[in-house]
Amino acid sequence: MELTAFLTIIALLFCFLFAGLWIGPALFATSWIAFTLFTDLPVMRILGSVIWNNVNSSSLMALPLFIMMGELLARTRISEDLFDGLTPWVSNLPGGLLHVNVIASAFFAAITGSVNATTATVGKITIPEFRRRGYDEFLSIGSLTSSGTLGILIPPSVPMLIYGVAANVSIGKLFMAGVLPGLLLMVAFCVYIGVMSKHSGERFYSGAEKIKALPKIFPVVTLIAFVLGSIYAGWATPTEAAAIGVLGAGLLGVATRCLTFKLLIECVVGAVKTNCMVMLILIGASFFSVTLGFLGLPKWISATIVSWGAGKYTVISLIVFVYLVLGCLIDGYSMIVMTVPMFLPLVQNYGMDPLWYGIFVVLLVQIANITPPVGFNLFLVTGLAERSIGFISRSVLPFIVIMVAFTFLITVFPQIVLFLPNVMGR
């Protein structure tokens, strides 16, 4: 029965997706049909309970707040100030200002948690500037498109929130776990840029000029310190820290004199639209997860793969392959909510930590954001750079290789992920 149910669910889901149905309704419809076909349980009662449990979740209160913070920051002059502040510090490195793509994305990642907000905000500044200065466009666009995905690895992160709720893992510990991998991946991108770039650097800046530029970076660093520091120090929950972030972003907008009432309304509308989209996917996925649980499919999948005698690294390779294929077809949020109910029991059966697996999944979602043909960041940068999707897809391939290699690095050395949560969580 389990095999029949599994094949039916997969077939239904892909039929709905290829028919053009949104992922949320597709998950609802698939789950409803599976419940009707394979159980005699009261579907409406279970669905009502799922919806109530999701919309009444205190953990999810942080979601609209972090989205609102990203909207506010993406529309202020903080991005221009950050570019100006970072320029003296990276200008004389091999690769010159291309490092700004990576470092600025990392900074914005730590205050927005959004791939699209990070990429769009940094790209609007760097793409015209790099063209004016004659930088290699293949490397500059590839580094921007790839570095923008740091927005979901360096906390706070919306996908981490979604995974934390789906897997019942501490959001605060997930945020801690993402810091070190995010910084190491940022360094890996910078090293690659330094090695591959033919640009030896910009003009030399003196120590006094570098110090003078620090006040332009200070607002971003301060906001990061307040949001993440309050979580890591145990002073605030992720939801309370998100509220602090919204307040801080609003104050920065007022201080830079660019937060008008009209702009505030636009930010609120944008945040509501994004939050509704994510919540629809999340509720549909929760119903999907409950359906799989009642049918016993997660345990069946785990037991089947274990019975094949597959080793840990074989299972990891299989999961990476599945995510790379899904990344060509659907968005990252959908990937998390569709796969966690099936794969989490499997990795736990092999003794892998759910906290580690959360960062592993987020890394794979990063790759999905730049995987041709439907990686969201590819389409976003196509509009920003006015270059073909083929050109941008080729430009990100070396960075995809780096990220795939990094997923296997954290598999071999899981303490890269678990070190900070173990030390700070005591």
Q: What's residue 222's pLDDT?
A: 82
- CA 152 to the chain's CA centroid: 2
Bigger pLDDT: 88 vs 360: 360
Q: What are phi and psi of 21, to 5 degrees?
A: -75, 140
Q: How confident is the model at residue 399 (pLDDT cuts 50, 70, 90)?
A: very high
User: Closest by alpha carbon to 133, among 96, 104, 102, 101?
Assistant: 96
Q: What's residue 172's pLDDT?
A: 84
Q: How confident is the model at residue 113 (pLDDT cuts 50, 70, 90)?
A: low
Distance CA 386, CA 380 (A): 10
Q: What's residue 373's pLDDT?
A: 64
pLDDT digits (tens, 9 = 90+) for 223-244: 778 877 787 777 887 778 888 8
Q: What's residue 330's pLDDT?
A: 66
Residues 223 and 245: beta-carbon distance below 8 Å? yes
Q: What's residue 402's pLDDT?
A: 94
Residue 229 CB coordination number (10 Å): 14
pLDDT digits (tens, 9 = 90+) for 24-76: 788 888 888 988 888 887 888 888 887 777 667 666 677 788 778 777 876 77
Vertex 38: Cα angle to 33 and 43 (nearest 5) = 55
The mean per-residue pLDDT over the stretch 276-303 comes to 75
User: Alpha helix locations (H) across 233-331?
Assistant: 238-255, 261-295, 297-307, 312-327
Q: What are phi and psi of 163, to 5 degrees?
A: -65, -45
Distance CA 69, CA 264 (A): 11
Residues 238 and 231: beta-carbon distance below 8 Å? yes
pLDDT > 70 in the chain, percent: 90
Average pLDDT of the chain, as a whole number: 81
pTM of the model: 0.75
> Is it the case that residue 417 has pLDDT exceeding 90?
yes
Q: How confident is the model at residue 398 (pLDDT cuts 50, 70, 90)?
A: very high
> Is it the case that residue 188 has pLDDT exceeding 90?
yes
The mean per-residue pLDDT over the stretch 410-421 comes to 92
Q: What's residue 54's pLDDT?
A: 66
Q: What's residue 410's pLDDT?
A: 94
Q: How confident is the model at residue 355 (pLDDT cuts 50, 70, 90)?
A: very high
